[in-house]
Amino acid sequence: MSLSPTSSGLLVIGLLFVLLATGMPIAFALGLTAICGLLIANGIGVFEVLAETMFAGIANLAYVSIPMFVLMGAAVAATPAGRDLYEALDRWLNRVPGGLVLSNIGACAIFAGMTGSSPATCAAIGKMGIPEMLRRGYPASVATGSICAGGTLGILIPPSVTMIVYGIATETSIGRLFLAGVMPGLMLTAMFMAWALYDCRRKNFDFDVRSKRFSLGQKLAALPKVTPFLIIILGTLYVLYGGVATPSEAAGAGAFLTLGVVIVMYRLFRPKPIFDIFSSTLRESVMIMMIMASAELFAFALSSLFITQTVAGAIASLEVNRWVLMALINLFLLVAGMFLPPVAIIVMSAPLLYPIIVSSGFDPYWFAVILTVNMEIGLITPPVGLNLFVVKAIAPQVPAQQVLTGSLPYVLLMLLGIVILSIFPGVATWLPNYVMGPT
């Protein structure tokens, strides 16, 4: 008995959620669901195209940049670089009211740019920041919430693996996407800082009593350990935007320089630390590639069952204002982000949403930022808010309820950020247009 596209879609999505609920890895759940869907659509002969379809999903030279940026982040995350960055900011901002919480969020923003990983940012900065904030009497919800939210910046501030995947899936410029994320990333960082300070004052925290003093010499002594990493990031972005290198070449150069700096600076001359860095890189890169290959197979299954075409036709036939359409897309992305990782969502949804976005008159680079902010919200939203679990693991003494209540205001701030970007799209589009010219 043949099923309608609607029935097939409900069956496939239902099976995916059942598999995810069992704790099955995302890549395997997507792949198994896709195989079941293809069996419904094409029968047993579908096994002849499974391997070819999955390989085609990742057979793109631009994907070489992903393991390179992952290696760059793994090299930084495996060293005390996060601690050094946190200490440097704390020393320079210590006399500013609320300087410690500002240091936490600022360190998250910079470390996110170095690693491109939200969980790694939460773990690296949170291990130092949360205990120190609690020791100085900061409210537990402020200490944990600021780290959870600051960690989400890892997928927005360049270099971002999420942006690379979006660029390849939609055939848009990765360099322009990176630039589009800079101003919104800084805007969200400023909003997070402002809320953290207000939240402290709202809870009657006395900033002046708990501040520390550092001499100018102590402040300057903290800079040499963080300056090389900032130079590498700026250099990598320069060669990318300056037309000197492709994204893959820029990522390779950045990874090589970062690895060299951490080996020399932190004296990682023994084989084991270097082996651990490459092992971590291999595990994360394979995980990402497996998710992308399985998501490609899943998208092929949806297309074979005519689910994609039916949904696209239904959306296109909606006689509604384009902003109502955008609101519906945002709602879909918010819900999807609560259950699936950003890479899987982008690979599955970007090819479907991209033509709808463009035909509705929206800028695809602006939409990439909107999509990424939605993915950020999913990182601190139950039931699968990864950053919440990371912070709870590194601060077990803080009740889960306080971690959640401290993070929820930042969800509202990110929703406000989406509204601001919708009213003022130039926040995302001005910098890429200024540096690279208008599209």
- Mind listing the pLDDT tens digit for each residue in 86-134? 778 777 877 777 777 888 888 888 887 777 777 778 877 888 788 888 8
Residue 224 · residue 231 · CB < 8 Å: no
- DSSP state for residue 210 in the 8-state scheme: G
Which residues touch 278 (CB under 8 Å, ≥6 apart)?
71, 74
The pLDDT of residue 172 is above 70: yes
Residue 181 · residue 370 · CB < 8 Å: no
Nearest to 34 by CA among 303, 232, 243, 361: 303
Q: Which residue has the higher pLDDT, 382 or 35?
A: 35
Residue 236 · residue 250 · CB < 8 Å: yes
Q: Cα(312)–Cα(322) distance, rounded to whole angstroms?
A: 15
Half-sphere exposure of 211 (CA within 13 A, CB side): 16
Q: Is the pTM of this model over 0.75?
A: yes
The pLDDT of residue 1 is above 50: no
- Mind listing the pLDDT tens digit for each residue in 256-302? 888 888 888 888 888 898 999 899 888 888 888 888 888 778 878 87
For the beta carbon of residue 51, count every other beta carbon within 10 angstroms.
11
Angle between helices 307-316 and 271-304 (to 10 degrees): 70
Mean predicted lDDT score pLDDT of the chain:
82
Cα angle: 271, vertex 274, 276; to 5 degrees: 105
Q: Cα dist. 191→43, 315, 409 in Å?
A: 53, 34, 11
- Mind listing the pLDDT tens digit for each residue in 222-246? 888 888 878 887 787 777 766 677 7
Q: Cα(24)–Cα(159) distance, rounded to whole angstroms?
A: 29
Structure tokens at 235: 């250099």
